[in-house]
Amino acid sequence: MHSLIYLASQSPRRSQLLTQIGVAHALLLPGPQEDAEALELALPGEAPVDYVQRVTRLKLEAAVQRHAQRGLPPGAIVCADTTVALEGVILGKPHNGADAAQMLAQLSGQSHQVFTAVAVASGAGRWAALSISQVQFAPLTPAQISAYVASGEPMGKAGAYGIQGAAAAFIAHIEGSYSGIMGLPLFETAQLLRSAGVLD
């Protein structure tokens, strides 16, 4: 390892995934004065693949400014964003339990796409990659949906589920990157960090 690596994400899963591949990192989280949620607003008619890459770029530039403002030691900054889409429609983070239940009912018995964009900044350099996976949900009963929503797990997660949690029991098949569906595609992330010269 050649330099510090900062992870600009509030997701504990992204931090765990970086640690899994041996990448030591410090968290670079938004301050109370930053409106991180505002960066995640979709534009009217925006395609999921465009949305996830645009939001990741915005998050990265916000993190670069945050790093400079805080006077932190130099280092590479990693950002990512994950979007779930069903037939081209973005399913964001649920607003409440009813919203989560509605999303899960839509996903039930269907195949959907998970887009995770990842971007790295180091000095003036910028590198980005995109992971696209397909996830097939088994048909869910109303009781299964209610119990899962009641667990609280869907909250704060795109598409109202986390593949690494209890929802794994609903997923019949995946094609693509398991870590990408979790929120940080490790193969692509490692490639970007090598390109940035901060990973051997």
- Indicate which residues carry an active-site annotation: 81
Q: Report the 10 Å Cβ neighbour count for 58.
A: 17
Q: Report the 10 Å Cβ neighbour count for 157.
A: 22
Residue 28, Cβ density class (10 Å: 0-12 exposed, 13-18 middle, ≥19 buried) = buried
DSSP states of 70-87: TTPPPEEEEEEEEEEEET
Residue pointed to by tokens 């997923």: 171
Beta bridge partners of 175: 134
